[in-house]
C-alpha cells in the first residue's frame, strides 16, 4: 500500500505521462491535482501515441480509477473531446473517470481574458498556453469561480454566470476593447456539458481517502513542473497553480501524513516552453539537434521548446521543495552520440557563485551557468532495460546527477515506449 506523487522537477514536459502510465500498472487510483488542459502528457503503447490533457494518464489501464481532483481547472468542452477521442480508440471511459465537485470550471471568458491579457503584456507576455488557466484560478482565489458541482444546479449556474459577466464584460469592452459574452448562450452551452459529464461528478476527496484507508495504491499525477509552480517557480513566468508535491495534498484533498513517496521526473537535459529565463539554454546546433531528436515541440500548443543542458541548481531546488524520495531520469537516449555533455552545477552573477536557486528574478535572468563537462557515449541507450548494460559514460552521467542533486535514481527511461525503462526501485 502506498501513496506516490509524481512531480515534474523542471519546467514541465519531463515525460511524466509515460512514467505515470508505467506506474499505473500497480496503482488502483490515479488523480490529477492541479493545472488543466494546458498540460499534455504523451504515452506511447505499441506504437500508438496518446496525448492526454486533462484526464490522468492512468485511463489507459482499464481497471484504474481516474480522478480529476479539486485543484484542477476543467474546460468541459476540452474534457468531453478528450473522453470521445479516447472512446473512439477503444479506451474505456465510464465509471472509471471521476471529477471533483470542487474543481473549478474554465469558462469561455477566461480564455478571452487569458489571450487579451497576453496581447496587452506584449514583449513581457508569459507565453501562456492560451487555455484560460490563469483567469480561472484568479476567479477561484477571488471567490467568484464556478465549480464543477454547480453544473448540477442550473439556477446556481445561471446566477453565477450573470454575476461574473457583469464585471468581465465591462473589463473586456473597456480595457481590452473586445467583445463581451452573452450569459444565456454560455448557460445553454454549459447545461449541455452538464448532461454529458453528470455521471462523472463526485466527492473525489472521499473516494481518494477511502482508497488510501483501504490499503490501495494511489498515484497523484502532477502537471507542469516545479519551476512553473506559482510559489516556487520562476515567478511571474509560471503557471497559476501549485504544481509541486505540496499541491497534491490541497489539490486532491489528502493529508501530508498519507504520502509515502515523491518521485521527481527529470529530463536528461532541460527544456522550457513559453517566456522566462532559462540559464542553460543552447542557441547552437546542439540545442537544435536535441530539439529535433527529442521531438521537443509542445504537446498542447505545438510550440518549439527551448532546449539546454541539464541544470542541477534548479534540480536541487526541486529536490528540496518537493521532498523528493527518488528521481526518474527520462530521455537519456536523446543524448546518445554527443561527444561531450555539460552539466550546470552553479550560477555566476557579478563575481558571486550561486549554488542555490536565487529567488531574485534579476539574478536568475542574468546569471551565467557554471558547467562541468563529461565525456559523452557512443553506443545507443534506446530501450535498454538494465543499468549495467548502459554505456559506461551514460552510467557515470546518471551517478553524477544523483550526486549533484542528492537524490537517488529510481527509474531511468530509455525510450518513448511503455517498456523502455530501467527500474532500479519500485514505487509501490
Q: Are 407 and 318 spatial neighbours (Cβ–Cβ below 8 Å)?
A: no
Residue 223 touches ligand IMP, criterion: CB under 6 A: yes
Between 224 and 427, CB nearer to ligand IMP: 224
312 annotated among ligand-binding-site residues: no
17 annotated among ligand-binding-site residues: yes
Q: Are 296 and 304 spatial neighbours (Cβ–Cβ below 8 Å)?
A: yes
# residues near ligand IMP by CB under 6 A? 21
Q: State the minimum distance, in angstroms, from the CB of residue 300 to ligand IMP.
A: 6
User: Per CB under 6 A, which region of 57-65, 200-208, 223-231, 342-350 contacts ligand IMP?
Assistant: 223-231
Q: Are 242 and 222 spatial neighbours (Cβ–Cβ below 8 Å)?
A: no
Among 56, 58, 274, 294, binds ligand IMP (CB under 6 A): 274
Residue 232 appears among annotated catalytic residues: no
15 annotated among ligand-binding-site residues: yes
Per-residue binding letters, 37-56, with ligand IMP (x by CB under 6 A): -xxx----------------
What is the Cα–Cα distance from 310 to 266, expressed in whole angstroms?
9
Among 23, 97, 273, 384, binds ligand IMP (CB under 6 A): 273
Contacts of 86 (CB under 8 A, 6+ apart): 50, 55, 59, 93
Between 11 and 22, CB nearer to ligand IMP: 11
Q: State the minimum distance, in angstroms, from the CB of residue 419 to ligand IMP.
A: 25
320 annotated among ligand-binding-site residues: no
Per DSSP, what are the bridge partners of residue 94?
Answer: none
373 annotated among ligand-binding-site residues: no
Residue 221 touches ligand IMP, criterion: CB under 6 A: no
Residue 416 touches ligand IMP, criterion: CB under 6 A: no
Q: How far apart are the first and last CA of the chain?
A: 7
303 annotated among ligand-binding-site residues: yes
Residue 150 appears among annotated catalytic residues: no
Q: Are 242 and 7 spatial neighbours (Cβ–Cβ below 8 Å)?
A: no
Residue 140 appears among annotated catalytic residues: yes
Using the CB atoms, write b or e for 387-408: b if 16+ within 10 Å: eeebbebbbebbebbeebbebe
38 annotated among ligand-binding-site residues: yes
User: Per CB under 6 A, which region of 193-201, 233-241, 393-401, 411-419 contacts ligand IMP?
Assistant: 233-241
Active-site residue (options: 13, 21, 205, 311): 13
Between 32 and 131, CB nearer to ligand IMP: 131
Among 100, 224, 330, 416, binds ligand IMP (CB under 6 A): 224
Contacts of 241 (CB under 8 A, 6+ apart): 34, 35, 71, 73, 133, 137, 224, 229, 230, 247, 251
Between 12 and 149, CB nearer to ligand IMP: 12
Residue 65 touches ligand IMP, criterion: CB under 6 A: no
Q: Are 20 and 57 spatial neighbours (Cβ–Cβ below 8 Å)?
A: yes
Label the pairing between strands 261-267 and 3-8: parallel
Interacting positions 99-138 with ligand IMP (CB under 6 A): 126-129, 131, 133-134
Residue 239 touches ligand IMP, criterion: CB under 6 A: yes
Using the CB atoms, write b or e for 308-339: b if 16+ within 10 Å: bbbbbbbbbbbbbbbbbbbbbbbbbbbbbebe
415 annotated among ligand-binding-site residues: yes
Q: Are 322 and 226 spatial neighbours (Cβ–Cβ below 8 Å)?
A: yes
User: Per CB under 6 A, which region of 36-44, 152-160, 204-212, 345-353 contacts ligand IMP?
Assistant: 36-44
What is the Cα–Cα distance from 426 to 17, expressed in whole angstroms?
17
Per DSSP, what are the bridge partners of residue 43?
Answer: 50
What is the crossing angle of helices 76-88 and 183-197, to 10°?
A: 40
302 annotated among ligand-binding-site residues: yes
DSSP state of 121: H
Label the pairing between strands 340-349 and 310-311: parallel
Q: State the minimum distance, in angstroms, from the CB of residue 18 to ligand IMP.
A: 14
Where along the sequence are the contacts to ligand IMP (CB under 6 A)?
11-13, 38-40, 126-129, 131, 133-134, 223-224, 228, 237, 239-240, 273-274
Per the annotation, binding residues for substrate are 299-305
Per the annotation, binding residues are 12-18, 38-42, 129, 143, 224, 239, 299-305, 331-333, 413-415
Per the annotation, binding residues for Mg(2+) are 13, 40
Q: Which residues are catalytic?
A: 13, 41, 140
Amino acid at each position: 500500500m502506498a501513496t506516490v506523487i509524481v512531480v515534474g522537477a523542471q519546467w514541465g514536459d519531463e515525460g511524466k505521462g509515460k512514467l505515470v502510465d508505467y506506474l499505473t500498472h500497480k496503482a488502483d487510483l490515479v488523480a490529477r491535482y492541479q493545472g488543466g488542459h494546458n498540460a499534455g502528457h504523451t504515452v506511447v503503447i505499441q506504437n500508438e501515441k496518446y496525448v492526454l490533457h486533462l484526464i490522468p494518464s492512468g485511463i489507459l489501464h482499464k481497471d484504474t480509477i481516474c480522478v480529476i481532483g479539486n485543484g484542477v481547472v476543467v474546460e468541459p468542452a476540452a474534457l468531453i473531446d478528450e473522453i470521445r477521442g479516447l472512446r473512439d480508440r477503444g479506451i474505456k471511459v465510464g465509471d472509471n473517470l471521476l471529477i471533483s465537485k470542487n474543481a473549478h470550471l474554465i469558462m469561455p471568458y477566461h480564455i478571452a481574458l487569458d489571450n487579451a491579457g497576453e496581447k496587452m503584456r506584449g514583449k513581457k507576455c508569459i507565453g501562456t498556453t492560451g487555455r484560460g488557466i490563469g483567469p480561472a484560478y484568479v476567479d477561484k482565489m477571488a471567490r467568484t469561480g464556478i465549480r464543477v458541482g454547480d453544473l448540477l444546479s442550473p439556477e446556481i449556474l445561471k446566477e453565477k454566470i450573470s454575476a461574473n459577466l457583469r464585471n468581465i464584460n465591462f473589463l473586456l469592452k473597456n480595457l481590452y476593447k473586445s467583445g463581451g459574452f452573452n450569459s444565456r448562450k454560455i448557460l445553454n452551452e454549459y447545461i449541455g456539458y452538464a448532461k454529458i459529464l453528470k455521471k462523472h461528478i463526485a466527492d473525489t476527496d472521499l473516494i481518494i481517502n477511502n482508497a488510501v484507508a483501504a490499503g490501495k495504491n494511489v498515484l497523484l499525477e502532477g502537471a507542469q513542473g516545479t519551476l512553473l509552480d506559482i510559489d516556487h517557480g520562476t515567478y511571474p513566468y509560471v503557471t497559476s497553480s501549485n504544481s509541486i508535491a505540496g499541491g497534491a495534498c490541497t489539490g486532491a484533498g489528502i493529508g501530508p501524513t498519507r504520502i509515502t513517496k515523491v518521485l521527481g521526473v527529470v529530463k536528461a537535459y532541460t527544456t522550457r516552453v513559453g517566456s522566462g529565463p532559462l540559464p542553460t539554454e543552447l542557441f547552437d546546433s546542439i540545442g537544435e539537434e536535441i530539439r529535433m531528436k527529442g521531438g521537443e515541440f509542445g504537446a498542447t500548443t505545438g510550440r518549439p521548446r527551448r532546449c539546454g543542458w541539464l541544470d542541477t541548481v534548479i534540480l536541487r531546488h526541486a529536490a528540496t521543495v518537493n521532498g523528493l524520495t527518488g528521481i526518474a531520469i527520462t530521455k537519456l537516449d536523446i543524448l546518445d552520440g554527443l561527444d561531450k555533455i555539460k552539466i550546470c552545477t552553479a550560477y555566476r552573477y557579478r563575481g558571486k557563485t550561486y549554488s542555490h536557486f536565487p529567488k531574485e528574478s534579476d539574478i536568475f535572468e542574468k546569471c551565467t551557468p557554471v558547467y562541468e563537462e563529461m565525456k559523452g557515449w557512443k553506443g545507443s541507450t534506446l530501450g535498454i532495460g538494465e543499468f549495467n548494460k548502459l554505456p559506461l559514460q551514460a552510467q557515470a552521467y546518471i551517478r553524477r546527477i544523483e550526486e549533484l542533486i542528492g537524490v537517488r535514481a529510481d527509474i531511468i527511461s530509455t525510450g518513448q515506449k511503455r517498456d523502455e525503462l530501467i527500474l532500479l526501485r519500485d514505487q509501490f
